[in-house]
Amino acid sequence: MSKDLFKRGEEIRNEVLGADYVKNSTASTDAFSEPMRAFAIKNLWGDIWDRPGLDRRSRSLINLGILAASNRPAELKIHIRGALNNGLTREEIGEAFLQAALYCGIPTGSECTRIAKQLFAEIDAAATNQDKQ
C-alpha cells in the first residue's frame, strides 16, 4: 500500500504542481530531507489529494486560504500555480485573497495578492518568451 501511495502521490504532485517543480524539488532533496518528502508525497499527495470527496479545484481553493492564514508565502506561491493548473482563474484567486484579508487581516491579503501578482508576471513572461521562440 505504501509504495502505491507514493507512486500515486508523485503522479498527482506532477499534475498539480507541474513536472518542472517536482523535478527541481526532487533534485534538491538530500538524505536529511528525504523522509519528509516521502511522508508528504505518500500522505498528502497520495492519500488526501486522491480522495473522492473534493475535486482538485476545491482542494486548491482551500489550500490558498489555509496557506494565506498560516503565513506560508513559499508554499502559497507553489499552490497558486497549482490552483491555476487545477482550473482556478486569476480572478478567483484574487477573490480568495480578498476573503483571507477580511478574516486574517489586510496585511495578509495584501501579501498574498503581491505573491500572486509576482507569479502571474513570471508566468506571462515565460509565455511571451515561449511565443517568441
Q: Where do the structural domains in the chain lie, given as residue ranges?
A: 1-51, 54-133
The whole-number average pLDDT for the span 70-91 is: 97
CB-count exposure of residue 9 (10 Å: 0-12, 13-18, 19+): buried
Q: Which top CATH class is 54-133?
A: mainly alpha
What is the DSSP secondary structure assignment for residue 15, as one 8-state letter?
H
pLDDT at 130 over 90: no
Confidence class of residue 21 from pLDDT cuts 50, 70 and 90?
A: very high
| CA-based nearest residue to 55, from 21, 89, 16, 18 | 16
Residue 1: what pLDDT?
52
pLDDT at 3 over 80: no
Cell matching residue 39: 511522508
Sequence-distant (≥ 6) Cβ neighbours of residue 83 within 8 angstroms: 57, 60, 61, 63, 64, 93
- Its pTM surpasses 0.85: yes
C-alpha–C-alpha distance, residues 133 and 116, integer Å: 26
pLDDT at 2 over 70: no
C-alpha–C-alpha distance, residues 94 and 103, integer Å: 15
